[in-house]
A and B are shown apart, each in its own frame.
Chain A
Amino acid sequence: MSAPAATSALEVRGLTKHFGGVFAVDGCTFQTPLGQVTGLIGPNGAGKSTAIDLISGFKLPDSGTVLFKGRAIEGLPPHRISRMGLIRTFQSPREWPGLTVLENVVMARWDPGRESFVGGLLGLRGEQRVRAADELSKAREILDEFGLAGLRNERAGNLSGGQKRLVEFARIRMAAPELVILDEPMGGVNPVLGERMAVAIEGFIAAGTSVIVVEHNLPFIERVTEHVIVMAQGTVIAEGPFESLRANQDVVDAYLGEMVR
């Protein structure tokens, strides 16, 4: 346990959060392997979304530890965690609706030098200009890859739900984090697009981004993940490869139920 950073992308220990009398997350402990896709599943109310909020800094945990790259990140604000290389998505796509698709992708990369007030004013000069041009061609490349090149000048708010999901994925490619947590990426997505997203997730891994996917779509989980964590009532009740979970009576009782027959 001395050097968790070497083997796990994320380590969560005893994470707890309650709202009034409801323990949404109750002593949640798990590790996700580096360079792999980990599924996080469980019935509604299992605490998955709250766990993500706690990990990504959008909510403060009551207790527990979150280790990312060997550093405790619990309690840090979202932007600090994001800057460290842990980016999360949201259940419904959160594009910047008034900005174009291209701008959405370009702005996914946080650039401290150019984004400060003074840096911004000094920008468009020499080295910064080169960086801006690199960024733009990178964004174009990514949009091409996601089949969004034709929509790049469209306001993101005008896109369909599925296209917005793709924009979100394109933004993650642009930001190139070390770990991404996808919160129900398949929500409202048709099977064809789903396959595209599965391929995109493989692309994240290839680009060096570990992935955690929260999802109710179990065929998708089976398709993309190597390792699955099952949560129920705020805590982890089982984990392992998806196949092994079918045989686990606790998991079947809590979640899989009739799915497995």
Chain B
Amino acid sequence: MTWNLFSAYLVSILTEGAIFGIMALGLNVIWGWSGDFDLAYYGYIAVGAYMTLVLTIGPASATPPAQYILGLQLPYPLAVVIAVATAMAVSLIVGSIALRHLRGIYFSIVTLGAVYVMYVIAGQFVPLFNGYNGLSGLFDPMGDWLGLDYQSYQYFFLGLSLAMFVLVYIFMARVSSSRFGMALRTLREDERAAAAFGRDIYRLKLKGYVLGAALGGFAGALFAAYLTAFNTSAWAPIEVIVLYSAVLVGGRGNIRGVALGVLIMGVLVQESTRFLPRLPGVGEFDTHHPQVLLAMRGVVIGLVLVLFLRFRPQGLLPERRLVDRQAAADITPRIIPTNSEASP
């Protein structure tokens, strides 16, 4: 492999990893803190991606069957803002229905229904997002404006994605240790007790849900620019499983764990399947049987998921607890990780 090829590969997995990290941090709000197994989550990513594309790309003159495109050609940052707002609005509608009375598996069923509705609308209602063909043609947003060629644009976009990930991470670290983050956890732990001690369960859960979806939408907007296109096939059930596995393996509720989980499940496991020993009869780089790789990816992720659920359900880095070092009032409490296995 030449250096150029390798660096291009590295740039692409790191960019993907950063975007994937933002998605996982959003899911962590909903599942890690608030405790709801949300199956509609990838829908908000898709809304973010679709909205970004439909707002930025030009008129549909080039490709005859396309009849969807608004041709607005909005600047990318503005489209991202609108995309995030739309994802939040959709999640507000879904959340206000699903979170009112339903919990556990019933909540999951409703969100599965919701994401299926989104999926079918995006796929079937052609004037919206061009149906199953989806949207394409978002090339190097802001590239011209910045005067970047294709090669340097990839580095720019990697930098942008990483910077966004770091910003989101710092923001979520703040939320995690905030009283708001703690209140979300009381809902996960026992929401009747939370209500008895003054928490408005529904509003609090809804806030967490919309916050998570906002991150999903934002990641979707970045993802659309990275892929340059989006359609329903980019929106497969496996994607949401990968996200859940990243949060679970890293440590549900712990943002450092979530970042680690993304590195392991989203980057390492995902990429390692590329380097599996070649099967006899399967061509170089599996150009003839691309499905084998895709299938192996699912198998490996499923296996890791099952092993973690069985042997380490709290993840590699379990959620941190406030640990009060000393009873003396002048000592500020430190936060260190605790491991439920280690406690008696």
Contact = CB atoms under 8 A, between A and B. Distances in A.
Interface of A: 56, 58, 77-79, 82-83, 87-90, 94-100, 102-103, 106-111, 114-117, 119-121, 123-124, 133, 136-137, 140, 144, 149, 152-155, 158, 171, 175
Contacts of A56: 196
B329 to A, nearest CB: 4
A103 B196 contact: no
Contacts of A121: 174-175, 178, 180
A155 B321 CA distance: 9
A21 to B, nearest CB: 25
B211 interface: yes
Given A58-B192, A79-B198, A79-B200, A99 B185 contact: yes
Contact of A98 (B185, B193, B327): B185
Given A119-B180, A123-B179, A155-B343, A103 B321 contact: yes
B192 A94 contact: yes
Nearest to B253: A98
Given A79-B195, A110-B197, A137 B343 contact: no
Contacts of B78: none
B328 to A, nearest CB: 9
B322 interface: yes
A89 B196 CA distance: 8
B190 A137 contact: no
B198 to A, nearest CB: 3
Interface string B201-232: 10000010001000000000000000000000
B185 A120 contact: no
20 contacts: A83-B198, A94-B193, A97-B189, A98-B185, A107-B186, A107-B197, A111-B179, A114-B180, A116-B180, A117-B211, A119-B180, A120-B175, A121-B175, A124-B177, A124-B178, A133-B332, A149-B327, A153-B324, A155-B338, A155-B340
A140 B326 CA distance: 10
B293 interface: no
Contacts of B324: 102, 136, 140, 152-153
Given A82-B196, A155-B340, A117 B180 contact: yes
Nearest to A122: B178
A107 B323 CA distance: 15
Contacts of A149: 327
A140 B329 contact: yes
Contacts of A98: 185, 188-189, 319, 340
B337 interface: no
Contacts of A79: 195, 198-201
Contacts of B180: 114-117, 119-121
B333 interface: yes
B321 A87 contact: no
Contacts of A96: 185-186, 189-190, 193-194
B311 to A, nearest CB: 19
B299 interface: no
B333 A136 contact: yes
Contact of A90 (B179, B181, B192, B199): B192
B65 interface: no
A123 B338 CA distance: 24
A124 to B, nearest CB: 8
Given A115-B179, A123-B179, A77 B200 contact: yes
Best-surrounded residue of A89, A109, A115 (most CB of chain B within 10 A)? A115
B179 A120 contact: yes
A115 B198 CA distance: 11
Nearest to A172: B197
Given A94-B196, A111-B179, 19 more contacts: A58-B192, A79-B195, A83-B198, A94-B193, A98-B189, A99-B186, A99-B189, A107-B183, A107-B186, A114-B179, A117-B175, A120-B179, A120-B181, A123-B179, A136-B324, A136-B329, A153-B338, A175-B197, A175-B198
B257 to A, nearest CB: 14
Given A58-B192, A111-B179, A137 B329 contact: yes
Given A95-B190, A136-B333, A103 B182 contact: yes
B64 interface: no
Contacts of B343: 154-155, 158
In the complex, the 6 A-B pairs of residues with the closest C-beta atoms, listed nearest first: A110-B198, A120-B180, A120-B178, A96-B189, A94-B193, A114-B179
B277 interface: no
A137 B190 CA distance: 25
Contacts of A123: 178-179
A155 B179 CA distance: 18
A109 B198 CA distance: 8
Contacts of B197: 82, 87, 107-110, 171, 175
A110 B322 contact: no
Best-surrounded residue of B182, B189, B192, B323 (most CB of chain A within 10 A)? B189
Best-surrounded residue of A56, A102, A114, A117 (most CB of chain B within 10 A)? A117
A90 B198 CA distance: 15
A144 B207 CA distance: 35
Contact of B327 (A114, A140, A155): A140
A175 B196 CA distance: 11
A107 B182 contact: yes
Contacts of B329: 133, 136-137, 140
B193 A90 contact: yes
